[in-house]
A and B are shown apart, each in its own frame.
Chain A
Amino acid sequence: MSTMDSISRLVRTRITQIVIVVCLLSAAAGYYFSNPQLDAFNAELNLWNMDIVIFTLFIGLITVFFSYSKSVSARTSEWPFRLYALVLIAAWIVMGLYSGLYSDTYQTAYLSTKITLHIAILGQLIFFYLSAMYRTFRVKTLRTGILVIFALAMILLNSPIITSNWSPADAISYWLLNYPGMGGARAIVLVAGVGGIILAIRILMGLEKSALRATGG
């Protein structure tokens, strides 16, 4: 094993685990213990974390640049679209750096492209949603029946055509959401919280390596 391999192995295993333990325990302990040195250390660590995260914004550009340029030079399928995307990325960066993030030009361009597309892509879901609902919301069992009844209740009780003609509708929908519905909501939040705590413990103990897989860990 070469020296570089030994160093990389040491970094990926021991050093990484030590850093995670120190950072995690310090950040968690800072909430429960009042200590000026610990508070100062945590404040500095938080700032470092924020500054490091900024650099992750550039990873997408590098990945896409290498992937798309390889595709364009090899003339694979969709290469014209990838070439167009590379040109658009470059033009967008120049426009953004020149005009500024809060300029009216940038804002209009962003709203007219990315936001419009995102709304259209998400808005299309209603078509798939209603056609899937037509096929799946068929009351064959008690379970489906309960699902359908409560979904229908929320939609009807929040519909303006019902609420403007029947005054108890809003109160009933509020009651359904905040009493029977909240049982399930609370349980999911609680259990997800427990899951999150266990994940943090597993990361602390070095059992959870999925987050560092991209670094070869």
Chain B
Amino acid sequence: MKLPELKASQIWAIVLIGYLIPAFIPLGMNPVISQATQTVYNTIQSLPPGSIVMCGGGGVFAFDLESSAGLIPAIQQMARNGVKVVFYPMWIETMQFNKYCVDSARVDEKYGGPWKYGRDYVFLPYIPGNEVGLVSFMNDVKKTVSVDYAGTPIDQLPLMAGLNSYKDIKLWICAEWDGVTILRYVTGQYGIPVMWFAQSSAYAAYGSYMSIYPGQIYLTNGALGGAQYEKLNGITGLGHAALDSNVMFTIMFVGFLVLGNLTMLFGEKNVNRKVKT
């Protein structure tokens, strides 16, 4: 029996159907909490009320959407526990991403939440220069940034009174694509722990930093880690939606892999050849 090669358009049609199924009918997959996600949750939970946490990095919004699944429940957790957050945008889209996450978390008093702008959280303006801006900020906050996103002098914001340099920062949370810059400088040069809600590919590529700075850096694994964090905070969101489609993706991946190899075996002449490895 000769297996035909599937055309690209046929594969795409199957993939589209595969992703439409969980979109129309949620499968209700339940995440299993991993050790790394639990550690990140416990670290944030253990912060005393009034602690100042920096949240930021440099990212592309579309990629960072994956890690927003973890950041949004983390913002809710910090708001519940009285932790103060300063949002630090290192790339030009990060400002919009930070606002998206805070609005989605609905922690501001305009949504009935506990946070008041200026007292509990502050949006800094875009700080250019990437690592140069970061180093300048860590050494002297007031010299690097004089106003917030809206042009209000930071001296007029109560939260910024307690933030002068890296010595006042308890923890740095990163949910952005360029988290490795944060790891290199914030932990590497200033010794501040970093919790990175990493994208899946970043988790694979930069997990080694957890062994360079053991106990100071923890990464969660993309949308799956985000789903786990949502479960720890008792909410469902993008992470849970990603779980359902992940199931379909797994089925399609295995299916196409097996089909491709069967096509290789039965779809053409099976030629014996020695291949140098």
Contact = CB atoms under 8 A, between A and B. Distances in A.
Direct touching of A and B (C-beta under 8 Å) = yes
Contact of A102 (B16, B95, B243, B264): B95
Nearest to B10: A131
Interface string B70-100: 0000000000000000000000100110011
Interface stretch (A87-95, A182-190, A208-216): A182-190
A130 B207 contact: no
B266 interface: no
Contacts of B206: 185, 189
A134 B100 contact: no
A70 to B, nearest CB: 27
B236 interface: no
A27 B221 CA distance: 34
8 contacts: A31-B189, A107-B99, A111-B100, A138-B264, A159-B247, A160-B227, A174-B36, A182-B207
A43 B207 contact: no
Interface string B134-153: 01100110011000011000
Contacts of B264: 138-140
Interface of A: 31, 39, 43, 46-47, 49-51, 53-54, 57, 100-102, 107, 110-111, 114-115, 118-119, 122, 126-127, 130-131, 133-135, 137-143, 148, 152, 154-156, 158-164, 167, 169-170, 174, 177-178, 181-182, 185-186, 188-189
Interface string B248-277: 011011101101110110000000000101
B60 A46 contact: no
Interface string B22-52: 0000000111101110000000000000000
B217 to A, nearest CB: 13
B208 interface: yes
A100 B129 CA distance: 22
A182 B277 contact: no
B1 interface: no
B246 interface: yes
A177 B250 contact: no
Given A135-B260, A182-B211, A170 B250 contact: no
A158 B143 contact: no
A152 B257 contact: yes
Interface residues of B, number: 68
B12 A43 contact: no
A101 B21 CA distance: 37
A94 to B, nearest CB: 18
B256 to A, nearest CB: 4
Contacts of B6: 134
A161 B221 CA distance: 17
B30 A164 contact: yes
Nearest to A118: B62
A114 B65 CA distance: 13
Contacts of A43: 136, 139-140, 143
B108 to A, nearest CB: 12
Contact of A133 (B31, B208, B210, B253): B253
A163 B99 CA distance: 33
Given A43-B139, A160-B246, A164-B32, A177 B260 contact: no
B29 A140 contact: no
Nearest to A135: B260
Contacts of A185: 204-208
B166 interface: no
A210 to B, nearest CB: 19
B128 interface: yes
A35 B227 CA distance: 48
A134 B11 contact: yes
Contacts of B235: none
A163 B243 CA distance: 11
B272 to A, nearest CB: 12
Interface in B2-21: 6, 8, 11-12, 15-16, 19
Contacts of A174: 34-36
**Residue from A107, A134, A161 with most neighbouring chain B CB atoms (10 Å):** A134
A107 B103 CA distance: 11
Given A102-B149, A107-B100, A182-B207, A46 B135 contact: yes
